[in-house]
Amino acid sequence: MSRPKAMTKRSFLWRGATAVGLIALGPWGFSSAAEAQVASEPLKLVATTGMIADAARKIGGDHVRVTALMGPGVDPHAYRQTRSDIVAMAKADLVLWHGLYLEAQMEDFFVQLARKTRVVAVAEALPKGVLIGHDDYADKFDPHVWMDPRLWSNAVLAVRDALTEARPEQASDFATAAEEHLAELRELAAYADDVLATVPPESRVLLTAHDAFNYFGRAYGFEVLGVQGISTESEAGLNRISALVETLVTRKIGAVFVESSVSDRNLRALIEGAAAQGWTVKIGGELYSDAMGPPGTYEGAYLGMIDHNVTTIARALGGAAPEAGRLGRLGAS
């Protein structure tokens, strides 16, 4: 009877912008019995954004244990991985990140991590032909694809495929759950079509803190204006703010929207600038742009996040939408 091979100890040196850590991982080299035991345990999965984590939970169910690095109110454009993040990702069975330059400051880390761990950029699965070019980089794309539920379906399929590759014996469960979630996304998209179509054409101007809503605008026929560019790391100069104030006044735009993960300082400056010229602009509501709502709430999941945005925008700009949203759950815990 052959003896098991001796177990080995592997250690990795990760160098990042915020942390340098030596992470010693546990022994590998399992016997068949140990491999079977591991396969029956939940898959340890780390996702960067809440939207990805939500898709993983929807599809993975009891087969996964999901950790999201970026919670409510966190701006992924500016996020820096912590030492505890590095440890969690190094110990994970699967790491899912968005890609498309959303977590640009973490990309070098993911390249290194992929040498030892399953790492998947789920939004990179979208066909390049459906992506919107990045304002500042000729070879990059706008990463905010989750603003269009139909586009986000592609990322959901990428999550399903990543889970299936990691745990092929549970492929059937993943496929069934993915189909159920995709059906929910289709219903959400149909609701958005209906209520946003009630906004008067001349009022379909969405002005927010940064350009997170370009895919939304393309899908539903809205002109989208952002004080900042696609990334919140870009600065909004005085000329930009002055030009937007002039747009608000001359086009009689009555509402602007703040974002849960971006400071409202620039939006307040716009409102004050318009008031100085005799035009009143209100805050149309707070939208979820780069992060979802509080955990445990309806808005803390993707379906509720988009329902909230669609309903808030439609109602603020003169459209007809139920106050509590598509399922009557907005504002309920």
Q: Which residues pair with 151 in a beta bridge?
A: none
Q: What is the pTM of this model?
A: 0.85
Alpha-carbon gap, residue 232 to 214, rounded angstroms: 14
Q: From first to last of the 333 residues of the chain, give the pLDDT tens digit.
A: 433 333 333 333 334 433 334 333 333 343 344 444 456 799 999 999 999 999 999 999 999 999 999 989 888 988 989 999 999 999 999 999 999 999 999 999 999 999 999 999 999 999 999 999 987 777 889 999 999 999 999 999 999 999 999 999 999 999 999 999 999 999 999 999 999 999 999 999 999 987 899 999 999 999 999 887 555 444 556 788 889 999 999 999 999 999 986 778 888 889 999 999 999 999 999 999 999 999 999 999 999 999 999 999 999 999 999 999 999 999 986
Report all structural domains of the chain as residue ranges with CATH numbers, in order of start. 8-191 (3.40.50.1980), 196-316 (3.40.50.1980)
Alpha-carbon gap, residue 297 to 160, rounded angstroms: 24
pLDDT of residue 217: 97
Helix (H) or strand (E) holding 95: strand 94-97
pLDDT of residue 70: 94
Which amino acid is located at 232 in the chain? Answer: T
pLDDT of residue 75: 85
Instruction: Tell me the three state secondary structure of residue 28.
Output: strand
pLDDT of residue 260: 81
List the alpha helices (DSSP H) in 280-328.
302-316
Cβ distance 45 to 60 under 8 Å? yes
Alpha-carbon gap, residue 201 to 207, rounded angstroms: 15
Q: CA-based angle 299:286:304, to the nearest 5?
A: 15
pLDDT of residue 89: 97
pLDDT of residue 241: 86
